[in-house]
Each structure stands twice: as C-alpha cells, then as structure tokens.
Structure 1
Amino acid sequence: MAFSTVHFLCFFLLFLGLPAARVTNASVDPCNAFSDGSGDLSVIPIYAKCSPFAADHGGSLLDTVVKMSSNDPHRLNYLTSLVAGKPNPNSVPIGSGNQLLHTGNYVVRAKLGTPPQLMFMVLDTSSDAAWAPCTGCSGCPSAATAEVNPNSSSTFSSLSCSTAQCAQARGLTCPSSTTASPSPAACSFNHTYGGGSAFSAALVEDTLALSSDEIPGFAFGCITAVTSGGASIPPQGLLGLGRGPMSLMTQTTSLYSGVFSYCLPSFRSFYFSGSLKLGRAGQPGSIKTTPLLKNPHRPSLYYVNLTGVSVGRTRVPVDPKYLGFDPNTGAGTIVDSGTVITRFVQPVYEAIRDEFRKQVKGPFSTLGAFDTCFTADNADNAAPKITLHMTGLDLTLPMENSLIHSSAGSLSCLSMASAPNNVDSVLNVIANLQQQNLRILFDVPNSRIGIAYENCN
C-alpha cells in the first residue's frame, strides 16, 4: 500500500507528541491539530499556513524577514514617540501613531460577542488597548478580514462619555458639559497621524472569549472608518498586552493577576503555532528572571536592565550610558513583540557587529537592514554565539535567533541592526526574531520578566 499523505501526517504528529487520531481521511488539516481548548492560546505567525492572512511571498525565509523588517523603522518611530512624548500616564490612546502600522507579526484567536465572532488579532506587548474593525467600517482592509457585527451580539454596548473608560483614553471627542442632551454622548475617537494615516473609532464593550475563558464587559475600540493607510492596519484588529488601564492584562487583573507568558514560534513554522498562557496557572515552575523596570512617563512598556553583550567569549566594550535605564529620557532596553529584529542604539550595535566580524571570515555584504551578511558552508559553526547580559540573567541566543539563512544558497546574515538613521531612538529593543523558541514570562505584580528555552514550534 502506498504511503499516503494521511499516513505521513499521522507519523509526523506522533513524532511531535500529538494524537494521530485527529487526522482522518475526511479532514487532513494540520492547523486543526492545535486547538485552544487546553487553556493555552495559539500564537501564529501572521504569514503561516494556519493564519487567514497566509500568502505565498516567494523567495527564501531570509527574503521574507528582510521584507518584514523593512517596516521596523515605523515601529521604532512609534516606540520612540512613546518614551519621548511623556504623555499622561493615566491617559492612553485606543491606537496611537504608527502603533497601527506594521505590527502584525503574530496573531491569536479571539472571539468577541454573544454568540462569539472569531477574530485573528495581532499580539502586541507595547500596546495599551484592543481594537477591531466593526461592520460597515469605511476604508478598513478588505483582504482576508473579519469584522465585529454589533447587531449580532446580545452583549454589545457602546460606552458613553461619562464612563471611566472614556476618561482613560486620549483623543476622545465628546460634547462640552454645558451641551444639553437627553442621553449621554457616545465616546468616540478621531486620530490623524504623520504621513496621513487616520482612523475613527467608538469605545465599546462586549464579551471577549480567549480559549475557554470569557471576559464580560471588555472595553475596546470599534473602528468605523480609516481615511488612509488602511492597507497597513492589521485586518482583524489588535490585542494589547501592555500595562495601561485599558490593556487586556489590566482589564483582567482579577482573572489573570497581571501574569502572562508566550512562546513565539519560528517564522519557519508554516503549520505550527506557539502559545500564549494567561494567568499564573501553567507557567514555568523554575525560570531565570530579571527585574522589570517601569518608566513613569510610559508605564506600559516592558523595560529590562541590559548590562552588556558578549560575542562568543568576548564582552564587547560599550559605554554604560548607551545601555542604562533613564526614565527621564526613556532610554534603556525593552522587550517588544511587534518589532521584527533586535535594534540597538548605534554605538552598541556597531560594537557588537565589529566584534562579530572579527570572529567570522568575510567578505561581508548588506541585504536590507542587515549589514553583516557572509557566505559559509556551515555558518552556524563559523559564527560565534551572542549573549545578552541582564541583571540576574544571561541569555545566550540560540544560533537561529542570531543568524538568519537564505534557503536558496549559503548566504547568512547577523539578524540584528542599529536604529535607522532617520529615527532618533534612545531605545534598545529585544525583538520577536530574537525571542523565538523561548518562553518569555511577564510577571507584573512581582516586577520581573522570566526567560527559558522552549521549543515553541
């Protein structure tokens, strides 16, 4: 008997420790092998086959990452604006500036409303709120999109200007208190961004379902119109995991205690997903941690104290002022799920790059954001490992997190970069490519971040 696709898939799932009984001749769908009924949420690369946004980008994985990382300057601009603007810490926007642009690297399944409506929402640790497109949204992305239909949910309601949630959000448009009105006005938003990108939203609440948990009265932005830049907005919305008053973790403190972790799968994982664990249950019992620092001007960002970087056995010489945490300027190092490749301020990156080049035989070439690409038959053996030193924790990056290879040849690149020349950034950003196949624990009550090696694929 011929060895069929079903037989192969059953064998492969058994190899991964998954029940082959899930695969039948009637339905050969590896994406269905990962359900969210176990208490974990699947974390899916947005271009993976199990994502509704999957697309054939062509070329190699290196080409795909180069294309994705070309949008990082928008992200760095947004993060820099957060730490430089010193906004009111008790006031957060539904969506702010380039936060809406190019953050779609990983999505999670979420359900909104009663009965539940399935959405694939972008996971973002540097966002303070959630938002989703609503039915009839003008200018919202049309490709592979879903919209929340308020008329189909028995638990949907708009929030008025008199609610506490509305007072916590910037950019609201409400009538003056002297305006006579038979009922409280709806809390709505109009945002305009550099480059002409703008959207309008209403603050609403509905039941949010994550895995087997239901969260009634969850407040989020219901997008009604995008006047420009719509192609760059994640089609099914965003789920913010920051520490602001309207973030998922703040709205669910009684349920999840301000604790979550994720394990991001490699961009190579076209069929398989990582996981998002919410709450204390199921978190690693033993994990190395580093203190979580807090910027009072922008408390939602997850700062850590990066004290140095080693390339191989050599600790690179870096002036401490480029690494130190400064709440007045926002300088320091954050862990961010929305940036693709780790970015250092220029003096730090150049010290790392120069030491890396000393230990690897050139010549070197440039490809996109990567300025240290080289050809080697076995690049993993030729290249030194990179270690990020943090208070109480030394993270030696797996080779796949510091080197990215072309599947079409022997070209490999150091998968880090400096902040773009047009971004006046004081931030070092540990990005999602460097977090892949690691369990990252965010424990806000205990002011710590934990990191452990884990196969997320």
Structure 2
Amino acid sequence: MEPLHVTLLFLLSLTLVNSLSPNCDSPSQGSTLRVYHVSSPCSPFRPKTTLSWEESVLQMQADDKTRLVYLTSLVAGRSFVPIGSGRQIIQSPTYIVKANIGTPAQSLLMALDTSTDMALVPCAGCVGCSSVTYDSAKSTSFSSLACGAEQCKQVRTVFTRLVDGAYTAVRDEFRRRMGKTAVVSSLGGFDTCYTIPIGKQVPTMTFMFPGLNMSLPQDNFLIHSSSGATTCLAMSSSPALNVIANMQQQNHRIVFDIPNSRLGISREICS
C-alpha cells in the first residue's frame, strides 16, 4: 500500500431517528452499556420539537460545514478553531451512554463517539447543560489537559467532501448512470436528490488509490428519507480538501500503520 494523502474521519454510525422507546431507568449490566440516540426520549439533549428527516439532514450538513473549515485550516497551516460550547458538541448527531466517571464515581450521560479518544461529558459550569454534571473538584483522579494537547486537535465529519473538480466529475457520472428521465432536485448541501425509486439503477462507486481500491455499495453513498420518498447522493464539494467521512466508512475495517504512514481498508459487515 502507498501512503494516502486524504483525510479519513470516524464517527459512530448515525441513524436518523428522532424517537425511540427505551426504558431510560434500566441500568447497564456488566460490561454492556445501554446506548441511546441523542434525540431519543432518554436524552436530555433531544430537540424540544421532533425534527423531520429533512431538518435532521440540514442540521448534519451545518455541523459538517464548520468541521470542514477547521480541517482545511489545518492543511493550510492556519489556525482556525470553531467556537462553540460543550453543550453544542454533545448535541451534535451522536449516541449517548450512562457511565460512572471519576473517583469516587459520578453517574453521567456521555457522548459515545469513535472520532476521538476522549469521552465527552457535561461538566460543572456548563451553561444550558443538564442538571447532572461532572464536578472535577470532587474527583481525586482528575487532572487538567492543556488546550494545545494532541487530544484537542481532533474533529469529525459525517459526509464525504471532494474537491470541486473531483466532486463534479463523480456527480455528473452518477447522474448520467441514473438516466436522463430521473428528475434531479436538491436538499441543503446535497445537489443530487431524487424523489422516485432508484434502487436498480444505482451503480457502485470506487475510490482508487495507489495500491488500494475502496469499493462502496449504495448504502455508503446514498441517504434515504425515513419515508423512502427522497434519496440523495450523500457527498458534496469542498474548495481544497478531500475528506472520506463517516458514512462512506461504515461496514469497513480500517487499519492504520502510523509509523509507515500507510492505510489498509477491507469490507466487513459490522452493523
């Protein structure tokens, strides 16, 4: 495998659901954690009103736009850090679990996120967070982390971004394969959406790198409304940076050889 000059980011597989019916009070057992969507009835961060599928997609696109600006600034060697509260981080589309933190233990809701090595929790002093927060002053195992630490430089995106020329080529070829009779519409940052069934017409997609091909079935690059009435190509353009993001990585095993700057990818059904 050759060195890969592209950004890959992880985020726990996002399910566009706005209502679940779990038993919020049932405790986790042993090494098993109960996982709740951030918008579920068990989440204190759920929206006051249920978001429609379209509103959920637009919210994810808005979050991705900020992350893309930050990633681009890293490549360009400039410093740009989107300013937002911790509550905004936890409210981004993700899953949460209830766990014990600190010494002695404090029971808290945590954002479950595979894009970083950190656990995100609501802390004392957070304006607008839930009433139950982590109080570091009460934990003997707490220590501070400097803002410039490596753990603070991580960021995530949900949808793949391709530089303008590459995206235009992919989009135009996708539309050509779909046929001239398929009417194209848009939804927020997605400029290739359809309101007719397109399952049988959808081609596969392959990202080709030196020594490595990453073939994607349609579940990795199409997003469907909950009713099935709308289907969009879940990619968009970027001025200067290619990002292979969460949705395109689902059901793949990613192996990092960091010392040699190499990457391995294989298809593996895990969801």
TM-score by length of 1: 0.45
Displacement of 1:131 in angstroms is: 6.5
In structure 2, the partner of 1:148 is 134
Equivalent AA in structure 1 for residue 211 of structure 2: G
Alpha-carbon contact 1:47-1:54 (below 8 Å) kept: yes
Do residues 113 (structure 1) and 102 (structure 2) align?
A: yes
Equivalent AA in structure 2 for residue 247 of structure 1: Q
Alpha-carbon contact 1:78-1:99 (below 8 Å) kept: no
Do residues 57 (structure 1) and 50 (structure 2) align?
A: yes
In structure 1, the partner of 2:67 is 75
Structure 2 CA distance for aligned equivalents of residues 436 and 30 of structure 1: 28
**1:401–1:45: structure 2 CA closer, same or farther, 3 Å change rule?**
farther
In structure 1, the partner of 2:113 is 123
Equivalent AA in structure 1 for residue 102 of structure 2: G
User: Following superposition of structure 1 onto structure 2, how do residues 283-362 of structure 1 map, counting pairs within 5 Å?
Assistant: 338-361=156-179, 362=182
The count of residues paired between Structure 1 and Structure 2 equals 241
CA-to-aligned-CA distance 1:302-348 (integer Å, 9 cap, x gap): xxxxxxxxxxxxxxxxxxxxxxxxxxxxxxxxxx7x21211111111
Higher relative contact order (CA 8 A, sep 6+): 2
In structure 2, the partner of 1:37 is 31
RMSD (Å), alpha carbons = 3.7
Alpha-carbon contact 1:133-1:140 (below 8 Å) kept: no
Equivalent AA in structure 1 for residue 255 of structure 2: L
Displacement of 1:153 in angstroms is: 1.6
**1:74–1:382: structure 2 CA closer, same or farther, 3 Å change rule?**
same
Structure 2 CA distance for aligned equivalents of residues 83 and 370 of structure 1: 24
**1:69–1:44: structure 2 CA closer, same or farther, 3 Å change rule?**
farther
**1:54–1:154: structure 2 CA closer, same or farther, 3 Å change rule?**
same
Structure 1 CA distance for aligned equivalents of residues 270 and 41 of structure 2: 16
Displacement of 1:147 in angstroms is: 2.2
Aligned pair partner of 1:388 in 207, 211, 227: 207
Structure 2 alignment gaps of length 5 or more? 1-21
CA-to-aligned-CA distance 1:355-397 (integer Å, 9 cap, x gap): 11111132211111111112333x2211211111133322221
In structure 2, the partner of 1:247 is 151
Displacement of 1:429 in angstroms is: 0.7
**1:246–1:354: structure 2 CA closer, same or farther, 3 Å change rule?**
closer
Alpha-carbon contact 2:110-2:119 (below 8 Å) kept: no
Displacement of 1:351 in angstroms is: 0.5
Between Structure 1 and Structure 2, the one with more strand by share is 1
Structure 1 alignment gaps of length 5 or more? 1-27, 88-95, 160-164, 171-244, 249-299, 302-335, 420-424
Q: What secondary structure is seen at the aligned counterpart in 2 of 1:66?
A: helix
**1:69–1:42: structure 2 CA closer, same or farther, 3 Å change rule?**
farther
Alpha-carbon contact 1:128-1:247 (below 8 Å) kept: yes
Q: What secondary structure is seen at the aligned counterpart in 2 of 1:451?
A: strand
In structure 2, the partner of 1:263 is none
Equivalent AA in structure 2 for residue 59 of structure 1: S
Structure 2 CA distance for aligned equivalents of residues 31 and 384 of structure 1: 45
Structure 1 CA distance for aligned equivalents of residues 174 and 128 of structure 2: 42
In structure 1, the partner of 2:229 is 410
**1:50–1:348: structure 2 CA closer, same or farther, 3 Å change rule?**
farther
Alpha-carbon contact 1:376-1:382 (below 8 Å) kept: no
Alpha-carbon contact 2:257-2:263 (below 8 Å) kept: yes
**1:72–1:156: structure 2 CA closer, same or farther, 3 Å change rule?**
closer
Name the larger-Rg structure.
1
Percentage of matched positions with identical amino acids: 38
Structure 1 CA distance for aligned equivalents of residues 270 and 29 of structure 2: 15
Structure 1 CA distance for aligned equivalents of residues 215 and 46 of structure 2: 31
Equivalent AA in structure 2 for residue 98 of structure 1: P
Displacement of 1:52 in angstroms is: 5.2
Structure 2 CA distance for aligned equivalents of residues 360 and 134 of structure 1: 49
Equivalent AA in structure 1 for residue 57 of structure 2: V
**1:365–1:119: structure 2 CA closer, same or farther, 3 Å change rule?**
same
CA-to-aligned-CA distance 1:144-183 (integer Å, 9 cap, x gap): 46422123323235x5xxxxx65xx44xxxxxxxxxxxxx
